[in-house]
Amino acid sequence: MSRHSEPTGSDCDAPAYTVVKACGGLGFRSPLDVRWCRLSSFMAGRRQNAGLLARFFRMQPRGRACLCGQLLPALERYTFTFRSETRRDYFLGQCPHCQTIYWEDAPELRRREGQGTITP
């Protein structure tokens, strides 16, 4: 007999499941099976959070390392339209070495042209 136990409380650092699932159709490799890291949380965890968002949205910081030691991937803006017809923008990028997907919400105020790619 198996007993159903309660969730272990593991932290999930991914956007909504519908976004993760849709990333498979956008060219991301195995989005349902790889690690996801919200860039701001990842950087804060590395104690490099001072002024992160200010630098982040000026297409910086450069030279930051992924969990595997490679450079962080460039993040590109993607717009997701849900069945409710609401839209949500995210910056997404995948490490070509370890396949970790880095992401961040794209603020509503930053919908200007020329703000479509972030190179860490």
95 close to 72: Cβ distance less than 8 angstroms = yes
Q: What is the pLDDT of residue 108?
A: 56
The span from the CA of 41 to the CA of 30, in Å, is 22
Q: What is the pLDDT of residue 51?
A: 53
- C-beta atoms surrounding 37 within 10 Å: 20
Go through 52-61 and write b for each residue having 16 or more CB atoms within 10 A of its CB, e for each that does not. Answer: beeebbebee
Least confident piece of the model among 49-58, 80-89, 102-111: 49-58
Average pLDDT over residues 100-119: 64
- C-beta atoms surrounding 85 within 10 Å: 6
- Condensed to tens digits (0 to 9), the pLDDT of residues 1-32 reads 444 444 444 567 899 999 999 999 999 999 99
- Condensed to tens digits (0 to 9), the pLDDT of residues 33-72 reads 999 999 888 877 765 444 555 555 544 444 578 989 899 9
The span from the CA of 14 to the CA of 20, in Å, is 7
pTM for the full model? 0.70
Domain boundaries, the chain: 19-107
